[in-house]
Amino acid sequence: CADLKAGALAKNLKVKGPVRMPTKTLRITTRKTPCGEGSKTWDRFQMRIHKRIIDLQSPSEIVKQITSISIEPGSRLRSPSPMHRLEPSAAM
Protein backbone atom coordinates (compact mmCIF):
# COMPACT_ATOMS: atom_id res chain seq x y z
CA CYS A 1 0.00 0.00 0.00
CA ALA A 2 2.75 2.43 0.90
CA ASP A 3 4.56 1.84 -2.42
CA LEU A 4 1.39 2.42 -4.43
CA LYS A 5 0.61 5.61 -2.55
CA ALA A 6 4.20 6.88 -2.86
CA GLY A 7 4.20 6.18 -6.61
CA ALA A 8 0.94 8.07 -7.06
CA LEU A 9 2.11 11.04 -5.00
CA ALA A 10 5.37 11.17 -7.00
CA LYS A 11 3.26 11.71 -10.14
CA ASN A 12 1.15 14.43 -8.40
CA LEU A 13 -2.11 12.46 -8.47
CA LYS A 14 -5.08 12.78 -6.12
CA VAL A 15 -4.93 9.83 -3.73
CA LYS A 16 -7.45 8.72 -1.11
CA GLY A 17 -6.58 5.88 1.20
CA PRO A 18 -5.59 3.25 2.01
CA VAL A 19 -9.03 2.62 3.52
CA ARG A 20 -9.35 -0.53 5.60
CA MET A 21 -12.25 -2.76 4.70
CA PRO A 22 -13.74 -5.20 7.24
CA THR A 23 -11.68 -8.34 7.79
CA LYS A 24 -13.37 -11.41 6.37
CA THR A 25 -12.88 -14.55 8.47
CA LEU A 26 -13.45 -17.95 6.85
CA ARG A 27 -13.85 -20.80 9.36
CA ILE A 28 -13.89 -24.59 8.99
CA THR A 29 -14.58 -26.92 11.93
CA THR A 30 -14.00 -30.64 11.33
CA ARG A 31 -13.70 -33.83 13.37
CA LYS A 32 -10.13 -34.97 14.09
CA THR A 33 -10.83 -38.67 13.64
CA PRO A 34 -11.22 -39.94 10.05
CA CYS A 35 -13.56 -42.85 10.92
CA GLY A 36 -16.03 -41.05 13.21
CA GLU A 37 -15.34 -43.32 16.20
CA GLY A 38 -13.69 -42.36 19.48
CA SER A 39 -13.95 -39.18 21.50
CA LYS A 40 -15.57 -36.24 19.82
CA THR A 41 -12.57 -33.95 19.27
CA TRP A 42 -12.62 -31.14 16.72
CA ASP A 43 -10.07 -29.14 14.72
CA ARG A 44 -10.79 -25.50 13.98
CA PHE A 45 -9.15 -23.73 11.04
CA GLN A 46 -9.57 -20.15 9.91
CA MET A 47 -8.28 -17.84 7.20
CA ARG A 48 -8.46 -14.06 7.51
CA ILE A 49 -8.66 -11.82 4.44
CA HIS A 50 -7.57 -8.19 4.89
CA LYS A 51 -8.48 -5.65 2.18
CA ARG A 52 -7.35 -2.09 1.58
CA ILE A 53 -8.77 0.34 -0.99
CA ILE A 54 -6.77 3.14 -2.60
CA ASP A 55 -8.64 5.63 -4.82
CA LEU A 56 -6.64 7.24 -7.64
CA GLN A 57 -7.91 9.90 -10.01
CA SER A 58 -5.81 9.60 -13.15
CA PRO A 59 -5.77 8.25 -16.73
CA SER A 60 -5.49 4.47 -17.09
CA GLU A 61 -1.96 4.65 -18.60
CA ILE A 62 -0.59 6.25 -15.43
CA VAL A 63 -2.40 3.71 -13.24
CA LYS A 64 -0.74 0.89 -15.21
CA GLN A 65 2.69 2.49 -14.61
CA ILE A 66 2.06 2.82 -10.88
CA THR A 67 0.76 -0.75 -10.49
CA SER A 68 3.76 -2.25 -12.32
CA ILE A 69 5.72 -2.25 -9.03
CA SER A 70 6.55 -5.55 -7.32
CA ILE A 71 3.95 -6.76 -4.84
CA GLU A 72 4.33 -9.14 -1.89
CA PRO A 73 3.44 -12.80 -2.46
CA GLY A 74 -0.17 -13.47 -1.56
CA SER A 75 -1.32 -9.98 -2.57
CA ARG A 76 -3.60 -9.18 -5.47
CA LEU A 77 -4.44 -5.98 -7.35
CA ARG A 78 -7.79 -5.41 -8.94
CA SER A 79 -8.38 -2.32 -11.08
CA PRO A 80 -11.89 -1.75 -12.42
CA SER A 81 -11.94 0.30 -15.62
CA PRO A 82 -14.34 3.17 -14.91
CA MET A 83 -13.26 4.12 -11.40
CA HIS A 84 -9.55 3.11 -11.38
CA ARG A 85 -9.81 1.78 -7.85
CA LEU A 86 -6.96 -0.46 -6.66
CA GLU A 87 -7.69 -3.10 -4.07
CA PRO A 88 -4.68 -5.02 -2.73
CA SER A 89 -5.67 -7.89 -0.51
CA ALA A 90 -3.53 -10.28 1.41
CA ALA A 91 -4.69 -13.60 2.78
CA MET A 92 -3.23 -14.62 6.11
Number of domain units in the chain: 1
Domain containing 28 equals 2-32+41-91
Residue-level pLDDT at 61: 80
The CATH number that applies at residue 86 is 3.30.70.600
- Residue 43: helix, strand or coil by DSSP? strand
Question: What's the mean pLDDT when you consider all of the chain?
Answer: 78
How would you write 77-90 as a 3-class SS string? CCCCCCCCEECCEE
Residue-level pLDDT at 45: 97
pLDDT band for 70, please (50, 70, 90 cuts): low
pTM for the structure as a whole: 0.56
